[in-house]
Amino acid sequence: MAWSNGRAPATPPTLADVAELAGVSRQTVSNAVNNPDLLRPDTLARVQDAIDQLGYLPNRAARNLRTRLSHLIGLRLAPVQEGTANALMDRFVHSLVETSSAAGYHVLLFPGDPTDPVSGYEDLLRSTAVDAFVATDTYLGNPQAAWLEARRAPFVAFGRPWDGVHAAHPWVDVDNAAGTALATTHLLDQGHERIAWIGWRKDSIIGEDRRSGWSSTLRERGLSTTGLASRVEDTVASGREAASVLLDEAHPSAFVCASDTLAMGVLHTLADRGLAAGRDVAVVGFDDSQVAQVVPPGLTSVRQPLEEVAVEIVRALEGLLSHPPAESRGVLLTPELVVRGSSRC
Amino acid sequence: MAWSNGRAPATPPTLADVAELAGVSRQTVSNAVNNPDLLRPDTLARVQDAIDQLGYLPNRAARNLRTRLSHLIGLRLAPVQEGTANALMDRFVHSLVETSSAAGYHVLLFPGDPTDPVSGYEDLLRSTAVDAFVATDTYLGNPQAAWLEARRAPFVAFGRPWDGVHAAHPWVDVDNAAGTALATTHLLDQGHERIAWIGWRKDSIIGEDRRSGWSSTLRERGLSTTGLASRVEDTVASGREAASVLLDEAHPSAFVCASDTLAMGVLHTLADRGLAAGRDVAVVGFDDSQVAQVVPPGLTSVRQPLEEVAVEIVRALEGLLSHPPAESRGVLLTPELVVRGSSRC
DNA sequence: ATGAAAGCGCTAACAG
DNA sequence: CTGTTAGCGCTTTCAT
């Protein structure tokens, strides 16, 4: 490039600069960039040459203004939860950035007020700062999805529209029940029969979904679940306490947990009692967090296919933003079980 | 708002709409938004009223085009490292999003090719998509900072310009040596005298900085470091092996590690040998990852003040983008030690 | 204190 | 296939 001496020009080259250098009109340069097939090969080559020479790249603001498109996807980032094993969002953000970038979109992060799930969306929408949103945390009772639909905002949800009988928006989700069923089956295969459940409170739809994978699997094998389940908050302390109570009252030989955070609580209780995870009592978590990967002796965990989730979300997004918008149904993906030391003898 | 029936208008209101409703010219509306002091109170009130009524918000693309500013900050997201305890970026991204949002900036994420530290920057710069960058991973030998400087791109580095004798860019960093000194002093206070170090290979400047906090603290107390240090890769397996060797050959009663990942490796070795972390051997990690927070019995770790880092970075960014650009020097922040069970009897 | 004119850089629509 | 014209919505002169 002309300025490959390492210093960029004070003001970037414009379409007009390229047009002049190539000896064509501005429109032809625009076509060379956006509809190359419209140009005669030799003209295209000449224009392309000028583009390379000047290091030209279309000005985003100008293009956005004209096309009414920003090629930006908004993602609301909820505040970090310290003291939990929840690294889900981190992995998801990475996947989404990779995938959407390949599709020509960048990810715009905006902060979410934990007390108001809808904050932030409004301004970005009205100022036409993003083309669409990816909405996470679409648990039951979260007004996000309904609000976005009412606002006619293009968005794809990571999470099923639990309440929406006829939700019109595309969504991608992971089959939680299938995940815990996988975990429970694995434990049954290892010879366990008294398999306990530590999950979240009843008002969590996702929690109930995960629980059902455990209970239905046990029931299919003719095993009872009575007294083997506990519902607590998603903290290490709660998991620890629940495990202690269950161990005393129901004598399970294995635990399936709704999250890695709760599973870590179980590991705490086992450590307290001098029991070895895996050898004495088996433990399975959910989310395959970094914690699960590095804690001794390794925590078996259900892993959500976040890379696939991102791919499907971007696919839905592209459909949503194409003309005419493609009708996109929901996509349900299946998680896998990552077996580690905590569930092996 | 006029459309608070829940449905947004097909096309958002513009300056002209507001001007018509308020019975003033478009420029007056613009002034009401950007220079309210220029208007007579009653005119301002009338315009503000029309703005509220229509739910007007300036179109970003148009404003960006005109002002040549996007109010976007670019952040390169390196691929996730599975199997490590490194949740540093996650916490940092959150902090940066919160802080920059308060300053009127949004964060634009773009993916980084691990093999090319400079990829991605070029396009965003040339297409004027972002106003500035936040560069992380500015370790020695990383051409990022030098490249950005040569390109005259506005950026703030999270990390000292180790190689730059006269680096002109603002930076924010955390005093790694102070962190490991804190850890070592804490262990000395607990009565330990044989304190081992497990760190990274010598080519990591950050690693050497962290190591120096350990070695200088021991030397100050007249204690030897001979045979007590190990340099390995940043993986759990490496930490585990290094701990095993050190335990056999140097009989330390405590470990200071360059990362939580390595510290987890030590915990693996202790578990292998039936030793209890905290009671039998003390362990301290670095970064206060989620792993450190939830692993039994809790991993003592050096915590970087990422919230403060974000604040300082945004402050530097604002200086950089103001007219005239404020001269901003580097800022060095001090980490703190979070004491948990792994270093208490 | 308010209004008129100009133009940021680009692309859609049409004319040649 | 290429060029001309117009305008996206905003802010920056400059007049009034």
pLDDT digits (tens, 9 = 90+) for A226-268: 999 999 999 999 999 999 999 999 999 999 999 999 999 999 9
pLDDT band at A6 (very low <50, low <70, confident <90, very high): very low
Smallest CA–CA distance from B113 into chain A, residue = A98
Q: Average the pLDDT over A166-195 and give the result.
A: 94
> How many Å apart are CA B192 and CA A91, to the nearest integer?
39
> How many Å apart are CA A106 and CA A91, to the nearest integer?
16
In a domain, B5, yes or no: no
pLDDT score recorded for residue B345: 76
pTM of the model: 0.93
> How many Å apart are CA A148 and CA B169, to the nearest integer?
41
Comparison of pLDDT for B335 and A55, the residue scoring more = B335
In a domain, A137, yes or no: yes
In a domain, A286, yes or no: yes
Nucleotide in closest CA–C1' contact with B15: D9
B60 CA to C6 C1' distance (Å): 20
Q: How many CB atoms lie within 10 A of CB B62?
A: 17
CATH number of the CATH domain containing B220: 3.40.50.2300
CATH number of the CATH domain containing B26: 1.10.260
Q: How much of chain B exceeds pLDDT 70, in percent?
A: 95
pLDDT tens digits along B317-328: 999 998 788 887
Same domain, B290 and B180: yes
| CA proximity to B137, closest of B195, B61, B204 | B204
pLDDT score recorded for residue A10: 64
| CA proximity to A201, closest of A192, A191, A211, A193 | A211
Same domain, B205 and B157: no
pLDDT score recorded for residue A326: 85
Contact A289 B289 (CB under 8 A): no
Domain count for chain A: 3
Helix axes B205-220, B176-189, angle to 10 degrees: 40
Comparison of pLDDT for A85 and B242, the residue scoring more = B242
In a domain, B3, yes or no: no
**Is B16 within 7 A of strand C by CB distance?**
no
Smallest CA–CA distance from B92 into chain A, residue = A80
Which residue is closest, via its CA, to the C1' of D7? A66
Contact B296 A70 (CB under 8 A): no
What region does B243 belong to: left with phi over 0, alpha with psi -120 to 50, or beta?
Answer: alpha
In a domain, B7, yes or no: no
pLDDT band at B1 (very low <50, low <70, confident <90, very high): very low
pLDDT band at B131 (very low <50, low <70, confident <90, very high): very high
In a domain, A195, yes or no: yes
Same domain, A161 and A133: yes
Q: Which helix (H) or strand (E) holds B158?
A: strand B155-158
- Residue B219 in this model has a pLDDT that exceeds 80: yes
How far off is chain A from B222, nearest CA to CA, in Å?
Answer: 35
Q: How many CB atoms lie within 10 A of CB A39?
A: 18
In a domain, A6, yes or no: no
In a domain, B9, yes or no: no
Q: For residue B196, give its domain range.
A: 176-304+338-343
| CA proximity to B200, closest of B287, B262, B136 | B262
SS3 B254: strand
Among A8, A60, A125, select the one facing B152 at the smallest CB separation.
Answer: A8
Can you read off the two tokens belonging to residue B241? Answer: 């092996």
Same domain, A72 and A113: yes
pLDDT score recorded for residue B3: 42
